[in-house]
Amino acid sequence: MNQRTICKPVSVYGTGIHTGQLVNIRLLPANQDTGIYFVRQNSERVKADYCNIHQTKLATTLMDNGAIVRTVEHFLAAAFGLGITNLTVEMDAEELPILDGSSKVWIESINSAGIIDQSATGKEIVIKKIIELHNPEKQTWIKIAPSDIFEITYHFKLPNGKFQTFDYNFDFQTFQHDIAPARTFCLLSEFERMAQQGFIKGAAATTGFILMDGRPSEELLLLLKPYTIADDAVMLSAESPRFSNEAVRHKILDIIGDLALTGGMIRGRLEAYGTGHADNVELVRGIMKEADVCF
């Protein structure tokens, strides 16, 4: 597959989910072999590269030469999902906007700018052996094995103890319809704890949903409506569920966003249970150590 960029600039604006800061974004075309760069107004540049992963608490943050860019995963999932390899992302704050909590708005914005193939061949990451990581403390695991395509199976445990599993074979069309619209979420107990710790300052009724693992306050019920989803689980949201298994689909979205930091398309079969960004990026590091990189 050839490298890709956009045809013309496009603008997006919104609020960072954790900082609560308004941010204006301009997506600009970039030359082949450039990669994806986040550029601040003071000319600080941070490349979307696994070597620049800074921290993974609640979101994936990149840092290069002291410049920080926060919450990159939903945007990078959209870029990966459309095959965009070269792009300049100008921003006037350090955190990307949460928008609706999914990759949907990013997909729409990139498509509105148009996508153009470039003459250079893109990078492909070919998995040659099983790479497997376990976290006994959290009882989570993630692994990737050789495959002729990029496929993901994710297992998710709902607050009521029931499990959801989703099998997904990646391609550009199905990503836009089956994965990109899935919104971010958290448990009610996590939401309350994050708010007390000074995170999610930019959270709003339209920035995702909450899975119920307790009784919500009356104040929260004035903002959000309970919806029963598959397996008798209940979510709080300002809108009806986009999928009956929206949570597990968003987990796949997050994985794709973190895998985008390899800088190439993936050929391998990934399977995971209960993971977060820390697990994802450890797998990314393992992939870049063990996989074949083809051009």
Dihedral over Cα of 174, 170, 117, 50: its sign: positive
Please return the burial class of 25, using the count of CB atoms within 10 Å of its CB with bins 0-12, 13-18 and 19+: buried
Dihedrals φ, ψ of 254, to 5°? -60, -40
Q: Is 155 noted as a catalytic residue in this protein?
A: no
| Catalytic site residue from 18, 74, 250, 277 | 277
- CA dihedral (174, 117, 48, 9) in degrees, to 10, reads -100
Q: Which residues are catalytic?
A: 277
